[in-house]
Amino acid sequence: MHPAPSVIIFTVLSGLGFGLLTFLGFGLPAVTGWAAFFYFAIGFGLAVGGLVASTFHLGNPQRALKAFTQWQTSWLSREACLSTAALIVLGIYAFAAVFFGVTIAVLGWLGGLLSLATVIATAMIYAQLKTVPRWNHWLTPLHLLTLSLAGGAILAQQTAAALVLLLVAGAVQVLQWVLGDRRFAERGHTIETATGLGDRGKARLFEPPHTGSNYLLKEMVHVVGRKHAQKLRIIAFGAMIVVPLVLVALLPTNPFTAAIATLFYLVGAFASRWLFFAEAEHVVSLYYGRTATEAPYQPSHSR
């Protein structure tokens, strides 16, 4: 799949933001006044910044309000509704905490749960797609949820929670890579099932339908950069899991530690999310000649 920068920025930043907001909603740490102001400013900044970035890849963003209507069937619509609800509920909670020094626990819990649900809804947009076997698995929501909460725990300076969540997120990330690499083959989608020519014999692409590129190839048959995949996985795992784990475990708990650990986490998370898209194979690539050993058709670039 095409690793669009807007979607990578959106999922990483809003994931981290809603992770932090989850902790803040549950009163970890229980803050009021200026402290609450800074915590919530970071949480809202990340969550809203991410959501705004997500509109950059839309063809017609001026109609984005319509995306609130189809929550009964669409995970994308559910994400829109849940994220807005989380921001409103926690906005009221934060307003009371910042300006009146009052914590309305019920609102906090509700906002925390809505933030969790938002991250799950984002993940389900990908996990629901049978057409992308690597994503179509319960590991996808677990992966995005544990990463989001681990980042949130670092920012919220919850040392014990951060250590546990980073370990879990690391384990899930490794599983997601190892099992994800096999899933396309396990699902049994081949050029023969795609074309229905399997009972005749072995099929191969003789001629692509067009000499240039098209939307499908650009969007779903993305093949660049896979040769660096292993290196990027090591960078992602090191920066996102190992370094923050060491920093949080060894340095004293303070905002400086949290900031440094979060920066490393973000670098790793961006690499991990880039791979999440770039390594995901869409079944439509079968029509363009993808096999277990051969890459699908790609047009040669401008002459």
Partner 1 sequence: MTQLPETTDKKLGLVIDLDTCVGCHACVTACKGWNTENYGVPLSDEDAYGADPVGTFLNRIHSYEVEPKGGGCSQTVHFPKSCLHCDDAPCVTVCPTGASYKRSEDGIVLVNEDACIGCGLCAWACPYGARELDAAAGVMKKCTLCVDRIYNDNLPEEDRVPACVRTCPAGARHFGDFADPNSNVSKLVAERGGIDLMPEQGTKPVNKYLPPRPKDQMQDMDVLSPLLEPVCEEPKGFLAWLDKKLEAL
What does DSSP assign to residue 282? P
What's the closest the beta carbon of residue 296 comes to partner 1, in angstroms?
11
Smaller CB separation from partner 1, 124 or 142: 124
Q: Which two tokens stand for residue 232?
A: 């990027």
Q: What is the dihedral of CA 144, 145, 148, 150, to 10 degrees?
A: -120
Q: Which two tokens stand for residue 189?
A: 């989608």
Q: Catalog residues that contact partner 1 under the rule CB under 8 A.
A: 1, 57-61, 63-64, 66-67, 69-70, 72-77, 80, 125, 128-132, 187-189, 191, 193-197, 199-210, 212-216, 219-220, 282-284, 287-288, 301-303
Smaller CB separation from partner 1, 73 or 293: 73
Using left for φ > 0, alpha for ψ between -120 and 50, and beta otherwise, residue 83 falls in alpha
What's the closest the beta carbon of residue 48 comes to partner 1, in angstroms?
19
Contacts of 130 (CB under 8 A, 6+ apart): 136
What's the closest the beta carbon of residue 280 comes to partner 1, in angstroms?
10
C-beta separation of 21 from 85 below 8 A:
no
Smaller CB separation from partner 1, 97 or 117: 117
What's the closest the beta carbon of residue 71 comes to partner 1, in angstroms?
9
Q: Angle of helix 139-155 relative to helix 5-25, nearest 10 degrees?
A: 60
What's the closest the beta carbon of residue 39 comes to partner 1, in angstroms?
31
Neighbours of 111 (CB within 10 A): 26
Closest CA to 28 of 161, 145, 140, 143: 161
Smaller CB separation from partner 1, 84 or 103: 84
Closest CA to 8 of 238, 262, 276: 276
Smaller CB separation from partner 1, 201 or 252: 201
Smaller CB separation from partner 1, 187 or 226: 187
Closest CA to 83 of 138, 25, 122: 122
Smaller CB separation from partner 1, 13 or 220: 220
What's the closest the beta carbon of residue 8 comes to partner 1, in angstroms?
15
What does DSSP assign to residue 280? P
- Cis before 296 (ω within 30): no
Smaller CB separation from partner 1, 195 or 253: 195
End-to-end CA distance of the chain: 25
How far, in Å, CA of 148 to CA of 165, rounded? 9
Residue found by looking up tokens 């014990």 in the block = 160
What's the closest the beta carbon of residue 95 comes to partner 1, in angstroms?
29
What's the closest the beta carbon of residue 284 comes to partner 1, in angstroms?
4
